[in-house]
Structure formats: structure tokens, C-alpha cells
A and B are shown apart, each in its own frame.
With several copies, the nearest count.
Chain A
Amino acid sequence: MRSGVWSDKEWECIKSEIPVLDRTVNGKRLVYLDNAASTLKAKSVIDKMADFYLYHYSNIHRAVHTLASEATMAYEQAREKIGRFLNAQLGEVVFTSGTTMGINLLVNSFVRSGLLREGDVVLLTQVEHHANLVPWLRASKFHGFRIEYIQADEKGVILKEAIEKATSVKPKVVSITAQSNVTGQELPLNFVREAFPNAILIIDGAQLIPHKKIDVKALDIDFLVFSAHKMLGPTGVGVLYGKRELLERMEPFLYGGEMIDRVTFEDATFNVPPYKFEAGTPHIAGVVGFGYTLELLENLDLEKIEKQVEILSRYLIDSLSRLDFLELYGPLDDSHRSLVSFNVQGVHPHDVSHVLDQMFGVATRSGHHCAQPLMSILKRGSKIDFPNSTVRASVYFYNTFDDIDTLVEGLKFVRKMFSE
């Protein structure tokens, strides 16, 4: 059973785009519910990338020959597509190797540019992925700025009251995730912007953007980071959006070829944004491939994708809520999107995931999901013997109600198997 927003024709197209959905795993149909870690890949995108690699590839920017022109145009066209997608100017779209790199770039550049000094406060939430936590933590040790947190409640939920309360720390920088990769909560970005009108606002869009567009101008975001691989795109590519005036004031992060203006044996000056932040040979084919990916998603219709993920999330939450041997985390209301973290009472998440995979072909993720400190919060609120980790099931637009039903069936089996 499929259900949702897709017409038969659209569904045929989706099925043919994601060939691994026809694969069997351990004799079962593959049910891929690990989308929050990374999504599956689309045939037309991979085919076009292969064509690019084999027939139009060369290094970019610096040469006048035909292949170099073709490659450079393909690369810059991808930047245009992403600029339109985010409602940003071209000079504001920097390609990175991923979300993690984007945040490290910001932290280091802020420190080098004097945008962050001793005594300044950086405000995070307690539900951040390590990518938006550890870079700040370590830099704060070296450079003496302070880190404060917007508190999560016992279910790992960030309430508006907690956001309001945090205004008292007067942060210079607010860096928060648009959606938690553990609790699934979409954070109220508008509310955050209003609560901190003068702070530099950084949004980690890694989880939200794959299924919900973000308009950087409408939300008045200063920086936004995300990864291509979580939205059907190639690995090794990410985007950093930054407001032009801020990018211009900032010292680069990586130094090397193409990002310079003038270099002597004594010092160097730099190119304009975005090039100033793209040192060395970039991941040319990946960027080009991400452009193709965005095109595919837009052809499928971004709004339909958003809607479909919403429908599937609802069905997932409702289905799991009916299993009384599970403990679920996160808000479980309408702000809860695309993924659910849970535990099977008395069974370790690794065992749950392993059995789901081996017996049902269901791919889920088990572990701390790169959010160790949040695990200690969930442990406090937990009514079971919390194993410091959870199982996480996450959907994307190519999943079905059937997939979720198979998960439920699998969980019942797991429960039975381990309680004997």
C-alpha cells in the first residue's frame, strides 16, 4: 500500500529512480528507514554525474580550454540552482564538504576575525548534533568565549519558554538545529529569530532542509549549513549560506589555491566570497551532482515531498505509539517530523536493529546518534533501564505505509524473541 501524495505515474518515476528499493536484504524486500543518517541515491543523478566525469570533466576556474569551460559552467550552474532554492545571492552560496565542515568553518573564521572574543556568549540547544556542539566546545577552551544552552525537557523537547529564558545570557551567536536528529522536533526558527534579534543566527539545516525548504531571507538567517547526502545527493558536498556582508568581513578558513587575491612570500590577500571560502580543487563532480539532485527534487515538487514526509511521519508516530512495549522520545505532536527515536523495553538498540535487518530487511539506526549529552537527558526522563542509546527510524519521500507496517511487525517479533 502506497498512499499519500504521489500519483501512479509519479510513483513509477520514483521507483525507477531508486533502484535499490527493488533489492532484497537477507531474503526480504529492503525497507530503508535510515534516511536521517543518509538517503538513498537516484539513478538519473548518478548517471548524469558519471556522464560528467567521463565526458566533460576537468579542473575548473583557471583554464581556458573547452573541458575546463564546460566543467566550470556546470559547477557555477549548480551554485545558481542552490542560490534560487535558498533565496540567496550567488556570492552567498559557499560549497563545503558537508554540514560538519560548514560549522567548523564558521567557528574558526569567527575566532580569527574577532567576531568571537573572550567573554562572548555562544548559545546552543541541548539537542545539537555533535557537529554543532564539539567545534564550539573545543574552540571555547582555546579562545575563552562561553557556551550556554537552551534547555531541553525530559523528552528532549525544546519549549518556547526555554528559548525565552535563554535570552538573559545575551548571546553574540545563536547556533541551533532546525530539526533535531534524535527527537525529530522542528524548532520554531521564527520565534528564535525574534527572541534574539541582534545575535548572529546560525541554522543547522542538515535534517530539515531535505524535506522542508528554508528561505534564508524570509527567516533573516545569517548562516545556514546543510549536507547534500541527506537529500538524495552525492557524498562529500555541503552548502554554507552566509550573508554577504558577514562573509566579506570574515577571515577564510581553509587557505590555498583559487581563494587568494595576491600572494607574496610574506603574506596574502583574498578573493571575494564565495571563492574566498573555497580553497583548492573543490569536489567538482559532487557539486555538479548536487545541482542535478536539486533539479530532480524540484521536478518531483518540493511541496509534495514535504507533504509526503509529513504524512509518513504521522503514520510512523501513530503506529509506534500503539506499541506498549516501546518508549518514544521527542514531542510526538505536529512539530515532530520525519524520524522517531525509541527503545524496546529490555532490549538493547543494537539487538533491535540487528534483528530488524536480519529478519525483516528493515534498516534502522541504533546508537547515540552523535548526540551523547542528549542521551543523558533522555535517560533522566526515561521510565525504563535506558541503554544510553536509542533506535531511530526515519522516512523520506520514497517510503510507504507498508514500510512502516513492516517495521511494526518486526518490533513485535523482537519484543517476543527477547522476552522468552
Chain B
Amino acid sequence: MIYSEFIMDYSKLKKFVGKIENATKVEEGKNLSCGDEVTLYLLLDGNRIVDAKFEGHGCTISQASTNVMIEQIIGKTKEEALELLRNAENMILGKEFNEKLLGPILNFYDVKNYPMRVKCFLLPWKTLEMALK
């Protein structure tokens, strides 16, 4: 089952929920097939992500994935965040990836066996990708 304690806990995290009023970047992402939506707020200092928050609704997987992603990218440079993104995508699509880099994101490893939930996991990451482009 993909509903591990880790994922259940992270799905309920409230720490990263909210707006950043002076955000450098605001990006909306959505999952067409289920109506899940996320608005990602990024505060950049030069090349570095110094804060991030989100609003929106979604399933356990997308909520947990968003929280873990935000936790991981805060403090990283754009390039580092994109590197993380590439590895997270590769993991979920069953391709090769760097385990060490992903850290707690590895808790989503099993989701790759549920193709219909892959989109839920990817929702925040795809939104991040658009935000950093």
C-alpha cells in the first residue's frame, strides 16, 4: 500500500500551506483528470529558493508530495531544485535516478506501481518546473 505513515503524516502537514505575499513566482498547476489544483508560491533570492508555500486541494498523494517537495527545495538553488526534479521524475517513471539525492522523496517510490497516481505525485513537481522555467 502506498499509504505509509510517512505519506499519511505529510499529507496532513499544515506548515507549508498558505500564500507568500511578496512571492517572486506564483504558478498554478492542475491535474486534469481529477480536478486537483495547487498554487505554488516561491520566494527567490537571486538564484536561491528561500521560501515556498502552497494553496490548493488534492488527494493524499498530491498533498504529501507537495509538502515533501517544498521541504526539500527550500534553501536550494534553482539548478539544484531542477536536478532534484529530474531525479524525482525518473524515480516515478521507473527510470534511473540518484537515491542519495532524493532523501525522503524515496518514500514515494512505490507510487510508480500505480500509473494513475503518478500524476498525483507529479502535480507539485510539474508546477515547480513551470515556475522555474
Given contacts A69-B116, A72-B115, A72-B116, is CB(A349)–CB(B3) below 8 Å? no
CB within 8 Å of B: which A351-403 residues: 351, 354-355, 358-359, 366-368, 372, 375, 385, 387-389
Given contacts A348-B60, A417-B3, is CB(A64)–CB(B32) below 8 Å? no
B61 at the interface (CB under 8 A from A): yes
Which residues on B sit within 8 Å (CB–CB) of A64?
114, 116-117
B interface bracket (residues with beta carbon within 8 Å of A): 20 to 34
Q: How long is the Cα–Cα vector from A72 to B117 in the complex, in angstroms?
A: 12
A254 at the interface (CB under 8 A from B): no
A368 engages B34 (CB within 8 Å)? yes
A199 at the interface (CB under 8 A from B): no
> Given A62, A355, A385, A418, which contacts B33 in the complex, CB threshold below 8 Å?
A62
A350 engages B120 (CB within 8 Å)? yes
Q: List 11 A-B contacts (CB under 8 A).
A: A64-B117, A261-B30, A349-B34, A350-B120, A351-B3, A355-B3, A359-B1, A368-B35, A372-B35, A387-B35, A388-B36
> Given B1, B30, B35, B37, which contacts A367 in the complex, CB threshold below 8 Å?
B35
Q: How long is the Cα–Cα vector from A392 to B14 in the complex, in angstroms?
A: 29
Q: How long is the Cα–Cα vector from A380 to B66 in the complex, in angstroms?
A: 27
Report B23 CB to chain A, min CB distance, Å.
Answer: 23
Q: How long is the Cα–Cα vector from A64 to B61 in the complex, in angstroms?
A: 13
B58 at the interface (CB under 8 A from A): yes
Given contacts A69-B114, A417-B3, is CB(A348)–CB(B35) below 8 Å? no
Interface centre among B2, B3, B59 (most CB of A within 10 A): B59
Q: Which residue of B lies closest to A76 (CB)?
A: B115
Q: Which residue of A lies closest to B34 (CB)?
A: A367
B25 at the interface (CB under 8 A from A): no
Q: How long is the Cα–Cα vector from A351 to B1 in the complex, in angstroms?
A: 11
Which residues on B sit within 8 Å (CB–CB) of A350?
34, 36, 59-61, 117, 120
Q: Which residue of B lies closest to A366 (CB)?
A: B34
Q: Which residues of B contact A (CB under 8 A)?
A: 1-3, 30, 32-37, 57-61, 114-117, 120
Q: Which residue of A lies closest to B12 (CB)?
A: A418
Q: Which residue of A lies closest to B116 (CB)?
A: A64
Which residues on B sit within 8 Å (CB–CB) of A69?
114-116
A interface bracket (residues with beta carbon within 8 Å of B): 20 to 34
Report B111 CB to chain A, min CB distance, Å.
Answer: 10
5 cross-chain pairs, A with B, having the tightest CB-CB distances, nearest first: A348-B59, A350-B59, A388-B35, A64-B116, A351-B60
A44 at the interface (CB under 8 A from B): no
B57 engages A68 (CB within 8 Å)? no
Q: Which residue of B lies closest to A353 (CB)?
A: B116
> Given A72, A262, A355, A389, which contacts B34 in the complex, CB threshold below 8 Å?
A389
Which residues on A sit within 8 Å (CB–CB) of B35?
367-368, 372, 375, 387-389
Which residues on A sit within 8 Å (CB–CB) of B3?
351, 355, 417
Which residues on A sit within 8 Å (CB–CB) of B58?
348
Given contacts A348-B59, A350-B59, is CB(A261)–CB(B1) below 8 Å? no
What string of 1s and 0s marks CB contacts (under 8 Å) between A153-165 and chain B?
A: 0000000000000
Given contacts A350-B117, A355-B3, is CB(A61)–CB(B33) below 8 Å? yes
Q: Which residue of B lies closest to A64 (CB)?
A: B116
Q: How long is the Cα–Cα vector from A123 to B37 in the complex, in angstroms?
A: 31
Q: How long is the Cα–Cα vector from A63 to B2 in the complex, in angstroms?
A: 17
Q: Which residue of B lies closest to A275 (CB)?
A: B32
A73 engages B115 (CB within 8 Å)? yes
> Given A63, A368, A388, A417, which contacts B57 in the complex, CB threshold below 8 Å?
A388
A358 engages B116 (CB within 8 Å)? no
A271 at the interface (CB under 8 A from B): yes
Interface centre among A73, A349, A359, A387 (most CB of B within 10 A): A387
Which residues on A sit within 8 Å (CB–CB) of B36?
350, 388
Report A168 CB to chain B, min CB distance, Å.
Answer: 33
Which residues on B sit within 8 Å (CB–CB) of A348?
57-60
CB within 8 Å of B: which A63-100 residues: 63-64, 68-69, 72-73
Interface centre among B3, B35, B36, B115 (most CB of A within 10 A): B35
Q: How long is the Cα–Cα vector from A276 to B32 in the complex, in angstroms?
A: 12
Q: How long is the Cα–Cα vector from A69 to B114 in the complex, in angstroms?
A: 7
A260 at the interface (CB under 8 A from B): yes
5 A-B pairs besides A261-B30, A349-B59, A388-B35 with CB distance below 8 A are A64-B114, A64-B117, A69-B115, A261-B32, A354-B117
What string of 1s and 0s marks CB contacts (under 8 Å) between A250-265 and chain B?
A: 0000000000111000
Which residues on B sit within 8 Å (CB–CB) of A271?
32
Q: How long is the Cα–Cα vector from A375 to B57 in the complex, in angstroms?
A: 15
Which residues on B sit within 8 Å (CB–CB) of A367?
33-35
Q: How long is the Cα–Cα vector from A260 to B32 in the complex, in angstroms?
A: 8
Q: How long is the Cα–Cα vector from A215 to B1 in the complex, in angstroms?
A: 43
